[in-house]
């Protein structure tokens, strides 16, 4: 059965897209057929894999999901690219039931062809993120190890619980991963302790360290595993992938 991860956090700059791209690549490299869906109008997941945003987002064009998918340089990883078109953004974020229902139907269509689907959401709690949550089986939350990362977390959890209660799907907490981790900082250790105390086993044991290779890789249109395979970031995402696989 396909596992559909909604990679979401209402706060920007927490490593959400970086995690979506590199985890998707790691899953593909493990032999799993994987799809990455770029729902963020910034299109960083698209450019981070060396592809260009589309003129019109496939989900707005009302075409079957398979027609909008393109191949990447990572064997086994396919991409539904994003669009920076203002019209597309407006169409997909319009908060009406008909539009939301259509978006969910399009997102769900074609997913069964994959082992894993990762949906990179915009940093907000708007209709796009809600539609992605309603179309997913699990929500995956990257959290940066800093004070402000904990602010707003309650709102995010409330939205997730609302979707769990009101949508006819099986959405679950897939996991929380700590990003930009620097064990030398006392604040990092404090955030780590607080998150693990509150969420328990939901939090992955693997943490994503601060690593310049992780930051540089997208500018070359590559994942960190392909850009710097021996880096700390590459090892961390490979270990995170193993944890995800073991949680099946």
Q: What is the pLDDT of residue 197?
A: 92
Q: What is the pLDDT of residue 115?
A: 96
Give the tens place of pLDDT for each residue, 195-219. Answer: 999 889 999 999 999 999 999 999 9
- CA distance to 51, 147, 173, per residue, from 199 (Å): 36, 17, 10
Distance in angstroms (rounded) separating the CA atoms of residues 211 and 149? 19
CATH of the domain spanning 3-246: 3.40.50.300
Chain CA centroid to CA 145, Å: 18
**Arithmetic mean of pLDDT, 88-101:** 64
Whether the predicted pLDDT of 94 surpasses 80: no
Per the rule left: phi > 0, alpha: psi between -120 and 50, beta: everything else, 210 is: beta
Contact 53, 135 (CB under 8 A): no
* Count of H-run helices and E-run strands, the chain: 12, 7
Chain CA centroid to CA 97, Å: 24
User: Which one is predicted more confidently, 60 or 125?
Assistant: 125
Show Cβ contacts of residue 73 under 8 Å, excluding neighbours closer than 6 positions.
Answer: 49, 50, 221, 222, 226
Distance in angstroms (rounded) separating the CA atoms of residues 27 and 23? 6
Whether the predicted pLDDT of 96 surpasses 60: no
- CA distance to 104, 136, 161, 164, 180, per residue, from 168 (Å): 12, 11, 13, 8, 35
Residue 240, both tokens: 């995170």
Distance in angstroms (rounded) separating the CA atoms of residues 69 and 79? 5
Q: For the chain, which residues make up each domain, given as ranges? A: 3-246
Q: What is the pLDDT of residue 1?
A: 85
Show Cβ contacts of residue 140 under 8 Å, excluding neighbours closer than 6 positions.
Answer: 5, 6, 7, 8, 19, 23, 118, 174, 175, 176, 177
Show Cβ contacts of residue 244 under 8 Å, excluding neighbours closer than 6 positions.
Answer: 23, 27, 174, 175
- Alpha-carbon Rg for the chain in angstroms: 17
pLDDT over 70 for what percent of the chain? 89
Residue 205, both tokens: 């044991």
pTM: 0.93
Cα-flanking dihedrals φ and ψ of residue 210, to 5°? -65, 125
Residue 136, both tokens: 């997913």
Q: What is the pLDDT of residue 5?
A: 96
Whether the predicted pLDDT of 228 surpasses 80: yes
Give the tens place of pLDDT for each residue, 110-140. Answer: 788 899 999 999 998 888 888 889 889 999 9
Distance in angstroms (rounded) separating the CA atoms of residues 167 and 56? 28
Contact 191, 150 (CB under 8 A): yes
User: Which one is predicted more confidently, 48 or 154?
Assistant: 48
Q: What is the pLDDT of residue 91?
A: 67
Distance in angstroms (rounded) separating the CA atoms of residues 233 and 11? 21
Q: What is the pLDDT of residue 86?
A: 58
Give the tens place of pLDDT for each residue, 32-47. Answer: 999 999 999 899 999 9
């Amino acid at each position: 059965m396909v596992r559909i991860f909604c990679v979401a956090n209402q706060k920007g700059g927490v490593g959400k897209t970086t995690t979506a791209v590199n985890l998707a690549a790691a899953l593909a490299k493990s032999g799993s057929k994987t799809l990455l869906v770029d729902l963020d109008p910034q299109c960083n997941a698209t450019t981070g894999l060396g592809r260009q945003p589309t003129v019109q987002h496939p989900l707005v064009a009302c075409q079957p999901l398979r027609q909008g998918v393109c191949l990447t340089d990572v064997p086994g990883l396919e991409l539904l690219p994003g669009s920076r078109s203002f019209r597309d953004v407006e169409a997909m974020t319009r908060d009406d039931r008909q539009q939301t229902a259509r978006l969910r139907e399009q997102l769900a269509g074609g997913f069964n062809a994959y082992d894993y689907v990762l949906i990179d959401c915009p940093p907000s709690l708007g209709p796009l993120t809600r539609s992605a949550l309603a179309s997913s089986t699990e929500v995956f939350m990257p959290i940066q190890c800093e004070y402000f990362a904990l602010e707003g977390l309650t709102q995010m959890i409330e939205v997730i619980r609302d979707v769990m209660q009101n949508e006819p799907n099986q959405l679950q907490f897939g996991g929380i991963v700590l990003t930009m981790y620097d064990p030398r900082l006392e604040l990092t250790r404090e955030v780590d302790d607080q998150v693990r105390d509150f969420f328990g086993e939901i939090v992955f044991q693997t943490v994503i360290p601060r690593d310049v290779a992780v930051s540089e890789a997208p500018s070359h249109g590559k994942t960190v595993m392909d850009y710097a395979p021996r880096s700390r970031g590459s090892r961390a995402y490979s270990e995170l992938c193993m944890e995800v696989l073991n949680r099946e």
